[in-house]
Structure 1
Amino acid sequence: MYRSPYPDEIIPKQSVFDFLFGRLSEHDSRRIALIDGASGVETTYGALVQQILALAGALAARGIGVGSVVALHCPNVPAFATVFHGILRSGATATTVNALYTAEEIETQLRDSGARTLFTVSALYPQANAAAEAVGLGPDDVIVLDGMDGHPQLRDLLTSGAPAPRVEFDPATHVAVMPYSSGTTGIPKGVQLSHTNLVANVCQVRPIIDVESSDRVLALLPFSHIYGMTVLLDVALSRRAALVTMPKFDLAEFLRIIRDHHCTYLFIAPPIAVALAKHPLVDQYDLSSVRVVFSGAAPIDDALMRAVAERLGTKVRQGYGMSEASPVTHAMPPGRDQLSRGSIGLPIANVEAKLVSVETGEEIEHPADGVSEPGELLVRGPNVMLGYLGRDDATHEVIDDDGFLHTGDIATVGAKGEFYIVDRLKELIKYKGYQVAPAELEALLLTHPEITDAAVVGAQDADGQEIPKAFVVRRDSSELDEGGVMTFVAEHVAPHKKVRAVAFIDAIPKSASGKILRKDLKGK
């Protein structure tokens, strides 16, 4: 058993709103909370709180509150913070929808979550509205933040004049947010995170993620993903830092925003680290304001971290987590340069971790020197989810009777207590930090009339990043080619789920029980 070297944090029994904004001082109310990276428009903490309260009142007037689920389908713009926290303040549950999702994917999440209200933006309206119509939502149930004929807009709700409601619930059991995760395998499931789960994780990372009130935090990683939701949005707001929003990645715009807004703290995923380390455009921008680059969402090796640190003249650290843990469980602490940059760091406060042999189920001992034998990483703490929506079976597969969350990642631990992710027991592919479930793509491929069988595994691209690769068995006499497979998949899924490589084979290797033997396809 490995306990965090940090003393346990006291987790307040509060809602997310009360925790973040309940004691907002007059001084802090004048601080800048949000900056639109494109336009430079600023929102103070005081204005943000007033907007959140106004939105909560408008939702309550619509009959939305405890027991309601509201979907939020929006890129990283300042209005996201207003709507997200307005939903939580109303007592409803927010289910965040990836801005890149197709109409089919949005429909699946709306139907599964039971959301009866959908917030979106005009740029995403076609797919959002098609999904809403498919699940029976009317025009008044689809709120287009920046305006669309026939639908309410954010301004209408913020100026309705309805008071914020009085709501009562147990923050330890009431579901605040429900992002969707594939867990360790399979189709995405609603991850039920309580107010206490979210509050706990913000408290737990206090000693280890050193965002300060003077920081300007670049908010590129999507708020709809638990990493962006907790580590960017809620951690930054809790520290009274300024969040500089960026709705989508473009390298030149990313560099311009850092330069023009003097961003000091960057939260990134590994593909952005590759660009920062290698792209010639980086040399054309003054990035001297950056004091920390923090990578998450997928493992990043020591060499790449070192290259970013040396090129930018800054500190580079990484952490680890998953949606089911709200998400952070490990992070590299500041000032611990003796730990390898390739490590995910130490368990955060209030977290217990252990490694268990995949073969024997026995706990793996701590090494006196070097690193331990590999084993599956298990974690336990107040940040671990309540469970998957409507999926007790899947919940019991990942949370054992002792309350340990089985991550599905294979790790080792070093003599200094630092952890390293070395392999993946779970079948998920991590493409640019996004989860891609092979089973989801395989089910889609099998609907193609010229495909008789298929398997999808993670493969390496030229930069050493993981991509989804499909192995396909064609029908006899079929002329389906690689491009045809890629186009078919692209028509039905979000961009990060696209198949990036295709191989045609005679048969998919399977076990006697019919399970795909993905290890036999790895490296082919």
Structure 2
Amino acid sequence: MFRSPFPDVDIPDVTVYDYLFASLTDEDADRVALVDGPSGRETTFRELRAQVDAVAGALAARGIGVGDVVGLLCPNVPAFVAVFHGILRAGATVTTVNSLYTAREVASQLRSSGARMLFTVTPLLAAGGAAADEIGLGADDVVVLDGAEGHPSLRDLLTVGTPAPDVHVDPSTHVAVLPYSSGTTGVAKGVLLTHRNLVANVAQTSPLLEMTPEDRVLAVLPFFHIYGLTVLLNLALVKRARLVTMPRFDLQQFLQLVQDQGCTYLFIAPPIAVALAKHPMVAEYDLRTVHTVLSGAAPLDAALGQAVAERLGCRVKQGYGMTEMSPVSHVIPASADLPLDSVGWTIPNTECRLVDPATGQDIDVPAEGESEAGELWVRGPQVMVGYLDNAQATADTLDDDGFLHTGDMATVRADGVVTIVDRLKELIKYHGYQVAPAELEALLLTHDDVADSAVIGIRDEEGEEVPKAYVVLQPGRAVSGDEIIAWVAERVAPHKKVRRVEIVEAIPKSSSGKILRRDLRAREAGRL
């Protein structure tokens, strides 16, 4: 077992609301907290806290409180912040929903989480409204933040006038947020993250990421993803930095906002790094205010990261985590000079083990050099309580000693620097989003012409991991691969789309019926 090289930090035993807003001074209250990127509209910390309290009061007036779950289907706009923290302030739990989800996927998450209400915006109302109808929510239970006929709006809630309720919960057990993750394999499951989990991860990362009140942080990574929620939103709020929101990624707008708003700290995923390193448009903008870029959500190639650093004249760092860890467990500190292909050191208050998956034996930290690879196990206050209504999945991921089995293979150097080298788990990471092969396989089997299927990740021409489906057709059927691709695309979020299809005679399986993905990967490797 090895610990963080950093001293433990104090983790206050408080709710997320109290952690972020209870210590707000008069001076800080007048600072700008949020800037709506497209419009430039500003919201101060004082105004934001008042909005949060107003939303909490309006929810309490509707009977929403401790024990209730509220869905939030919303892009990165300032209203997301007021609603998210308003729900928590009311004592309820937020289940954040991917803005790219189809109505079927939204309904599945709302049903699984037991959501009593849904907050969304007009552009997402088609999917959100259809999902709400499917699970039996009425029009009054669907709040459309920017207003839509027949539904309450955010303005309606802000003007109810009911004071925020006096809520008392145990931060270590009360679930604050319920994001959905595929974990190490399988279909998405609700991840139970408490107030303490969220507070802990901000407290743990704060001294390493070195954000200050003078920073201007561009929020392009989605808040519905735990990376954006913790490392962007909550860290920026507690540090009293200025957060500039972008509803969706558009390179020109991204560059324009960095230039016009003087953004200093960028949190990105590798696809954005590719654009920053290679796109000619970048040269047309003044990005000299940027001092740090932090990449997460998927592995960053070291050469790519170095190209970004040289082109922008800034520091580029990388971190590692999982939704199940709120999400950060490792990061390269902002001022540290570590190999960019590593994920840096273990963060404070956190312990790790590397375990040989074949023998179950621990791999020791070497006296010098780098260790052999083993599965990374992590224990700390940021680790989830478990999965919602899924004791087996919880037991498969969290052991009796409290270690979370990440499903990722890693090495550790003598100085504690960790590098992720491979993945045990079957998940495909497409542009930082999780794609569960099992979910796509189950969907493909509902196609009338498909007798059997298997999905693995392969590399496309740009080196991006994409889902490829191997499909066995029903006897006498002649559907094409392109037709199957189009059929799947109509039923899943864009990042889950099957990008390649190969028609095969049979799917390789073990005697117990388990798909032998390694055989399919070997088949792909033989074509290289």
Instruction: Give TM-score, length-normalised by structure 2.
Output: 0.98
Identity of aligned residues (%): 63
User: Does the aligned pair in 2 maintain the 1:412–1:422 contact within 8 Å?
Assistant: yes
Write the deviation string for residues 320-365 of structure 1: whole angstroms up to 9, x where unpaired: 000111000000013321x211000100000001100010000001
Q: Across the two proteins, how many residue pairs are aligned to each other?
A: 523
Aligned-residue offset at 1:58: 0.2
Aligned-residue offset at 1:304: 1.0
Aligned-residue offset at 1:200: 0.5
Stretches of structure 1 lacking an aligned partner (at least 5 in a row)? none
> Which residue of the partner structure matches residue 362 of structure 1?
361
> Which residue of the partner structure matches residue 512 of structure 1?
511
Aligned-residue offset at 1:369: 3.1
> Which residue of the partner structure matches residue 452 of structure 1?
451
Whether 1:183 aligns to 2:183 is yes
> Which residue of the partner structure matches residue 280 of structure 1?
280
Aligned-residue offset at 1:123: 0.4
Structure 1 window deviating more from structure 2 (460-469 vs 220-229): it is 460-469
1: distance between equivalents of 2:340 and 2:146?
42
Aligned residue type for 1:313 = G
Whether 1:265 aligns to 2:231 is no
> Which residue of the partner structure matches residue 327 of structure 2?
327
3-state secondary structure, aligned to 1:85: helix
> Which residue of the partner structure matches residue 223 of structure 1?
223
2: distance between equivalents of 1:282 and 1:478?
49
User: Does the aligned pair in 2 maintain the 1:70–1:117 contact within 8 Å?
Assistant: yes
Whether 1:346 aligns to 2:345 is yes
User: Does the aligned pair in 2 maintain the 1:6–1:207 contact within 8 Å?
Assistant: no
Following superposition of structure 1 onto structure 2, how do residues 224-239 of structure 1 map, counting pairs within 5 Å? Answer: 224-239=224-239
Following superposition of structure 1 onto structure 2, how do residues 73-472 of structure 1 map, counting pairs within 5 Å? Answer: 73-337=73-337, 339-472=338-471
3-state secondary structure, aligned to 1:443: helix
Stretches of structure 2 lacking an aligned partner (at least 5 in a row)? none
Aligned-residue offset at 1:220: 0.6
User: Does the aligned pair in 1 maintain the 2:453–2:471 contact within 8 Å?
Assistant: yes
Write the deviation string for residues 151-197 of structure 1: whole angstroms up to 9, x where unpaired: 10000000110111011111100000000001111111110100000
3-state secondary structure, aligned to 2:396: helix
Aligned-residue offset at 1:256: 1.1
Following superposition of structure 1 onto structure 2, how do residues 43-62 of structure 1 map, counting pairs within 5 Å? Answer: 43-62=43-62
User: Does the aligned pair in 1 maintain the 2:292–2:334 contact within 8 Å?
Assistant: no
3-state secondary structure, aligned to 1:208: helix
1: distance between equivalents of 2:445 and 2:392?
25
3-state secondary structure, aligned to 1:522: helix
2: distance between equivalents of 1:405 and 1:474?
39
3-state secondary structure, aligned to 2:199: helix
2: distance between equivalents of 1:200 and 1:306?
31
> Which residue of the partner structure matches residue 5 of structure 2?
5
Aligned-residue offset at 1:37: 0.7
User: Does the aligned pair in 2 maintain the 1:430–1:466 contact within 8 Å?
Assistant: yes
Aligned residue type for 1:351 = T
3-state secondary structure, aligned to 1:116: strand
3-state secondary structure, aligned to 2:297: coil
2: distance between equivalents of 1:283 and 1:486?
37
2: distance between equivalents of 1:109 and 1:486?
24
2: distance between equivalents of 1:284 and 1:476?
57
User: Does the aligned pair in 1 maintain the 2:397–2:404 contact within 8 Å?
Assistant: yes
Aligned-residue offset at 1:318: 0.5
Structure 1 window deviating more from structure 2 (502-511 vs 267-276): it is 502-511
User: Does the aligned pair in 1 maintain the 2:469–2:501 contact within 8 Å?
Assistant: yes
Aligned residue type for 1:484 = E
Instruction: Give TM-score, length-normalised by structure 1.
Output: 0.99
